[in-house]
Structure 1
Amino acid sequence: MPKYLLLVVISLLSVSSSSIQKIKTFVYDYEGVLSMPEKNTLDSLFRQHEKKTNNEVVLLTTPDFGKYQKIDDYSLATGNKMGIGKAEKDNGVLIVFSQAQREARISTGLGTEEILTDSIAVEIMFNIMIPRFKEGKMFEGIFSGSKAITDFLEKPENEIR
C-alpha cells in the first residue's frame, strides 16, 4: 500500500486564497469523504472547543490544491483567507486532508504554534491519524487527530494568551 505523503508544518496563516471564504462552519468537506453525521460530530467537537478556549480549529478536505503545487502553500493561503483564529491571539488551527492526493497537514497561527509545536503535530499525525488512514478509516483518523488536538489545547497549561 503506498504511504501517505505527509507534510506537517506549523506556520503563520498569512497568505490570501481566492477559493475559500471566511469560516461559517468548522468542517469543509470539499472532497466528500465524510457523511453528514461525521461532519456534524466534528463540527460539534470544534464548536465546543471554541466555547471552552476561544481557539478555532477547522477541518478542510480537498481533492486537490487548486493553483498551489504543495499542500503547505494551499494550507497557508486557505487558512489566511478563511480568517481562522482570533486576530489578537492568532489562535487558529487548520487541518487539511486530501485522500486523493494522499496528504495531510496541520497549520497553526503564530499564537498556537508556541503551544501546539511541530513535534506535537507530527506525533499526532504519525501516531494517531496516519495509521487509521492506512486502514481506510478516514473519519476515525480525522476525528482521533482532531480530538487529540482539542484535548491538548484544552489543558490549562496550554492556554493561548
Structure 2
Amino acid sequence: MTLRVWCAAIVATLLIAFASLAVADVAVPQLTGRVVDRTGTLSSSDIAALSQKLRDFETRKGSQIAVLIVPTTDPETIEQFSIRVAEAWKIGRKKVDDGAILVVAKNDRHLRIEVGYGLEGALTDVTSRRIIDEVITPKFREGDFAGGISAGVDRMMRVVDGEPLPAPSRSVNFANLDDIGPLAPFALFASLIVGGILRSLLGRLLGSVATGGVIGLLALLILGSGALALLAGIIAFVLSFIADLFPASTGPSRGGSWSSGSSSGGWSSGSSSSDSGSFSGGGGSFGGGGASGSW
C-alpha cells in the first residue's frame, strides 16, 4: 500500500472519529445538589433559595424535586435526554417513585417536566404541560429564568401536596444534626447542674434518668426534632450518671467531647445552604411521564 493510500486511510479514520464525537450524546451531569445549573443562568443566591425550598418540601412531604439546566441536549431530543437523567439520578423514594425533574435546555429553548411513576396520578401529562405553558414559559420569554423556574417549582409542589403519599421518614431530621452544635455548651452545663440537683434528690440512677428527660424535652422544644431530643436526652443521662466518677473532668474537656460528637463534618455538609454534593436520589423510577414545551 502506497504512502498516499495510508494517508487517505488515516484521514478518513480521523474524520469518522470526529463525526462520532460530534453526534455523541450529551453526558448526564453529576447530581451535586437539588439544583444543577451547567449554564451559569442562576445566581448563587437563586440556587441557594431554590435548594432550600426543595429541601424543606422533601422534609415535609417526602417527595424529591430537582432542577437541571444545560446548554443543549443535541443530538437527542429533550425527552430522550431527560429520561436518561431520571434513570441516572433516581430522584424520589425507592418503591414510592415520587420524584420529578425540571429540565431546561437553554440554548435549544426547550424544557421538560419528567415525572416519576408515583406522581403520574398528580403531575399528569396535561397538568405538567399547563405548568410549562402557563407558569414557566411566559417568564422565560421575558428573560426571567430564575422567576420561571421558581414559579414552576412552586406549582409542582402544590400539585404534589394534593397527592396522598407515605409520610417522610423521621430520620430526615438528622440532616440538621449540626443545629445542636451551638447549644452544646448550654446543654452540657444544664445537664451537669440539673443532674447534680436531681441526683441529690432522687438518687444517682433515677436522678440521671430524670436529667435525661428534662434535657431531652428542652431539646425537643428548641430544635423540634424527636431524634435530636432523644440523642440529647441519652447524652445528658450518661453525663449525669458518670459525673461524680470523674470530678476532675467536669470542665472544658467534657464539653469538647460533646461538641465533637454532635457536629461532625458529615452532618454539617448535609445542612449547609447549598447541597454541596450531599444530596442524592432516593432510588425512584421513571417511565417517561410528564410533558415538554418550548419558548
TM-score tier by shorter-chain length is: 0.7 to 0.9
Is the partner of 2:112 in helix, strand or coil?
A: strand
Offset at 1:41? 1.0
Structure 1 outlier segments of 4+, above 6 Å: none
Classify 1:97/1:18 alpha carbon distance in 2 versus 1 (closer, same or farther; 3 Å). Answer: closer
Q: Which AA in structure 2 matches 1:141?
A: G
- Whether 1:160 and 2:168 are equivalent positions in the alignment is no
- Whether 1:79 and 2:86 are equivalent positions in the alignment is yes
Q: What are the superposed Cα offsets for residues 13-51 of structure 1, whole Å, 9 maximum, x if unpaired?
A: xxxx95334x44100001111000000111011101101
1:122 to 129, 153, 161: 129
Classify 1:151/1:35 alpha carbon distance in 2 versus 1 (closer, same or farther; 3 Å). Answer: same
Question: Could you say which structure has the larger radius of gyration?
Answer: 2
CA-based RMSD: 1.6
Aligned residues: 141
| Contact 1:29–1:60, Cα closer than 8 Å, also in 2 | yes
Distance 1:57 1:79 in 2: 11
Residue in 2 aligned with 1:27?
Answer: 35
Residue in 1 aligned with 2:67?
Answer: 59
Residue in 2 aligned with 1:42?
Answer: 50
Offset at 1:100? 0.8
Offset at 1:64? 1.4
Distance 2:28 2:152 in 1: 26
Distance 1:136 1:24 in 2: 26
Offset at 1:138? 0.8
Is the partner of 1:107 in helix, strand or coil?
A: strand
| Contact 2:68–2:102, Cα closer than 8 Å, also in 1 | yes
Is the partner of 2:29 in helix, strand or coil?
A: coil
| Contact 1:129–1:145, Cα closer than 8 Å, also in 2 | yes
| Contact 2:72–2:106, Cα closer than 8 Å, also in 1 | no
| Contact 2:99–2:116, Cα closer than 8 Å, also in 1 | yes
Q: Percent of pairs identical after alignment?
A: 25
Distance 1:136 1:77 in 2: 28
Distance 2:32 2:141 in 1: 31
Offset at 1:60? 0.1
In structure 1, the gaps of 5 or more residues are 1-16
Q: Higher helix proportion, which one? A: 2
Q: Which AA in structure 2 matches 1:159?
A: P
Residue in 2 aligned with 1:6?
Answer: none
Distance 1:160 1:116 in 2: 13
